[in-house]
Amino acid sequence: MAVFLHEEDIPEGVFAPGADIAVDTETMGLITPRDRLCVVQLSDGGADEHLVRFGPGSDYAAPNLRALLADPARVKLFHFARFDLAAIRHYLGVTATPVYCTKIASRLVRTYTDRHGLKDLVRELLGQEISKQQQSSDWGGPVLSDAQKDYAASDVRYLHAMREELDRRLAREGRTALAQACFDFLPHRAELDLAGWPEIDIFAHI
């Protein structure tokens, strides 16, 4: 198992052809237009994770990364896809579809709990422990620490295995089609966030 750090783009051919890709992002904060995209984490479910770091003033050209994220033949796996899709759309200019979100799947099948964070899911579904200590660290610095790199990699390391278990539970509860409909809407939800409706439910009566 290894974590590879790349600057501004991924090399060609680092992922298995046609493999679904786990994706996560690290930004300077939670307001997408204000807080720049610093790191994109990627995994094809194999032994390695790849991190792409963007420096201050980056033009986010990243042709290989953009092509990967926009590839309609690869499902992109996220945990809380809504945020990551908005960051990718705003900074990289691509819509990363098709989408699978482990947080939405968890909310649909783990109705016995309100704990749907990645750490809780990894613990319950896979029996593994991950640290979230670096979650609020400075991702915009000139150097990423080993702790930051390991944290970033852990955010995509388990998504493929989690999807397998969540898919079994979605099928068991008869909610597979409902989950897919939610996943299909996620890029539009991200666009609403970027367009100024982040916390407003436009479907609500009031």
Is residue 163 within a helix (H) or strand (E), and if so which, with residue range? helix 159-172
Number of compact structural domains in the chain: 1
Determine, yes or no, domain membership for 146. yes
Q: For residue 146, is pLDDT > 70?
A: yes
Q: For residue 131, is pLDDT > 80?
A: no
Instruction: Provide mean pLDDT across the span 7-16.
Output: 95
Determine, yes or no, domain membership for 160. yes
* pLDDT tens figures, 52-73: 999 999 999 999 999 999 999 9
Dig out the tokens for 60 from the structure. Answer: 């986010």
CATH number of the domain that residue 69 is part of? 3.30.420.10
Which pairs from 168-174 meet CB under 8 Å and 24+ separation?
169/105, 169/109, 169/110, 170/105, 170/108, 170/109, 172/109, 173/108, 173/109
Residue 134: the pLDDT is 59
Instruction: Provide mean pLDDT across the span 153-178.
Output: 97
Q: Where are the beta strands (DSSP E) in the chain?
A: 2-7, 21-27, 37-43, 48-53, 76-78, 99-101
What's the whole-number average pLDDT of the chain?
95
Instruction: Provide mean pLDDT across the span 176-203.
Output: 95
Determine, yes or no, domain membership for 203. no
Q: Looking up tokens 């995509």, which residue turns up?
A: 156
Determine, yes or no, domain membership for 201. no
Determine, yes or no, domain membership for 31. yes
Residue 200: the pLDDT is 87
Binned at pLDDT 50, 70 and 90, residue 10 comes out as very high
* Strand 2-7 versus strand 21-27 pairing type: unpaired
Instruction: Provide mean pLDDT across the span 101-113.
Output: 97
Determine, yes or no, domain membership for 204. no
Instruction: Using a cut of 0.75, tell me whether the model's pTM lies above it.
Output: yes
Residue 90: the pLDDT is 98
Determine, yes or no, domain membership for 131. yes
Range of the domain at 28: 3-195
Binned at pLDDT 50, 70 and 90, residue 161 comes out as very high
User: How many Å apart are CA 104 and CA 117, to the nearest integer?
Assistant: 11
Determine, yes or no, domain membership for 40. yes
Residue 135: the pLDDT is 65
Q: For residue 188, is pLDDT > 90?
A: yes
Instruction: Provide mean pLDDT across the span 126-140.
Output: 82
Least confident piece of the model among 20-24, 91-95, 133-137: 133-137
